[in-house]
Amino acid sequence: QKEVEQNSGPLSVPEGAIASLNCTYSDRGSQSFFWYRQYSGKSPELIMFIYSNGDKEDGRFTAQLNKASQYVSLLIRDSQPSDSATYLCAGPLAGGTSYGKLTFGQGTILTVHP
């Protein structure tokens, strides 16, 4: 079993809608998680990180962490065509600290159509 899994996708939403991206993880001891956005042919860029149960909001983005259920999600409100990209969920490799090695999910391709 992969340590971090993203099973949904590809995801297509209309402009202005809420896009919901999900990720599950296997190591219950994992502390922090990251969401990266990767445009085609480019390297990932950090969108958000979260280490506490509950929600964390930053502009149009909200990350949610549920440690009991071992899932992490990213909500994008008022989706724009420029949000079209692959979204990668990342967590600590082998239960390490948030500042150790990262392991990435497979990614979810999001397309926002006008």
Query: Helix, strand, coil shares of the chain as percentages rounded to 5?
Result: 5, 50, 45
> Phi then psi for 94, rounded to 5 degrees?
55, 40
- What is the β-pairing status of strands 102-104 and 61-66? unpaired
Provide the mask over 57-96, with x wherever binding to another protein is found by CB under 8 A and - wherever it is not: -------------------------------x----x---
Among 44, 65, 74, 76, binds another protein (CB under 8 A): 44
Distance, in Å, from the CA atom of 63 to the CA atom of 81, rounded to the nearest integer, reads 20
Which sign, positive or negative, has the C-alpha torsion 104, 71, 73, 46? negative
Among 20, 31, 49, 75, binds another protein (CB under 8 A): 49
- Quick check: 105 binds another protein (CB under 8 A)? yes
Span near another protein by CB under 8 A; candidates 15-23, 42-50, 55-63, 68-76: 42-50
Span near another protein by CB under 8 A; candidates 11-19, 22-30, 45-53, 74-82: 45-53
Distance, in Å, from the CA atom of 82 to the CA atom of 113, rounded to the nearest integer, reads 10
Which residues bind to another protein, rule: CB under 8 A?
Answer: 34, 36, 41-46, 49, 88, 93, 98-99, 101-107
